[in-house]
Each structure stands twice: as C-alpha cells, then as structure tokens.
Amino acid sequence: PHRPARRAVLRTAFTTTLVAGTAGALAPVLLKDPGTPGRGERRSQAPERFSETYRGRHIRGTAPAVVPAGGHPGAAAAVSTATVADVTVDGRPLHVMRRADGSYLSEVNHYESFPTLLETARAAVDELGTAHLAATTPHTI
C-alpha cells in the first residue's frame, strides 16, 4: 500500500524538477528582446586597434572592419570581404579566427570565444602563462 504513494510522490518530484529546470534553461532565450545585442555582440562598425602591455606581455592587434555579431542579412557578405585580423603577443603571431556570431577564438583558447580581439589576446596571455607562442604560424610552414 505504501509503494504506489511513494512512486507517485517520486514521479511528481521528478516531473516538477524536470519542468523547472527546462523552464530555467529556456527562459533567457525565450524572453530575450530580438533587438538587443546578446553576449559577445557589438554594434560598433569601427576598426578595432590596440597595443598594450598586459601582465608583462606586449599585445597588439588590428581588425580592419568590425562586423556586428548576429547582425543584419548583409553581415555575412561583410564577414567574407573583411581581411584577417592581425594579433601578436610579444611580437609573435596569435592565430585568431572569427566565428559566425561575430566573436573571436584563438589557437590558444580554441574552446572559448570572446567578443573582442583585445579580450581574445588577454585570454591567450592568461592561458599561456610564462610560455611563448611559436615564431611562425602553422599556415606559413
């Protein structure tokens, strides 16, 4: 007699937890205003240029054109015509790739993306620690 009641309680608790977890995970996606930029998105069209010393390492970078992440239909054409970003750490090239959403990832942080080149370079320095990048990129060998 106690088993059916116990099963019903456990089933109800499991279902409630599942529904609450799903709602919590989907809420940011479903409640987001389509006109507001999301994480990693920028609206600026200005070229990104920086040169600074970060944690004792000299980082420098340029991106000729900034395409807004998740932008308008013409953004895909702008991405394909933009030239490659140039980023160096202590004068050595850091290979940086542009993702479809407009964020960047580097050869050092392949599984994490960043909204700007500067943040990408800083994250690479953090990850490298005292190690140095190779003098040449794999594409020039």
- pLDDT tens digits, 12-25: 999 999 999 898 88
For residue 108, the domain's CATH number is 3.30.1880.10
Domain count, the chain: 2
**Considering the domain boundaries, does residue 42 fall inside one?**
no
Kindly state the tokens that stand for 39. Answer: 């994480």
Q: State whether 72 and 126 are in the same domain.
A: yes
Confidence at residue 128, expressed as pLDDT on a 0 to 100 scale: 92
The contacts of residue 23 (CB under 8 Å, 6+ apart) are: none
What does DSSP say about strands 104-106 and 96-98: parallel, antiparallel, or unpaired? Answer: antiparallel
Q: State whether 85 and 21 are in the same domain.
A: no
Which structural domain range is residue 90 located in? 48-140
Collect the ranges in the chain with pLDDT lower than 70: 1-3, 34-46, 64-84, 137-141
**Considering the domain boundaries, does residue 113 fall inside one?**
yes
Confidence at residue 77, expressed as pLDDT on a 0 to 100 scale: 47
Q: State whether 95 and 135 are in the same domain.
A: yes
Confidence at residue 27, expressed as pLDDT on a 0 to 100 scale: 83
Confidence at residue 24, expressed as pLDDT on a 0 to 100 scale: 86
Confidence at residue 30, expressed as pLDDT on a 0 to 100 scale: 79
Q: Where are the alpha helices (DSSP H) in 32-106?
A: 75-81
Confidence at residue 123, expressed as pLDDT on a 0 to 100 scale: 94
Q: Between vectors from CA 96 to CA 46 and to CA 75, what angle results, nearest 5°?
A: 45
Confidence at residue 36, expressed as pLDDT on a 0 to 100 scale: 60
Confidence at residue 80, expressed as pLDDT on a 0 to 100 scale: 44
Q: State whether 52 and 8 are in the same domain.
A: no
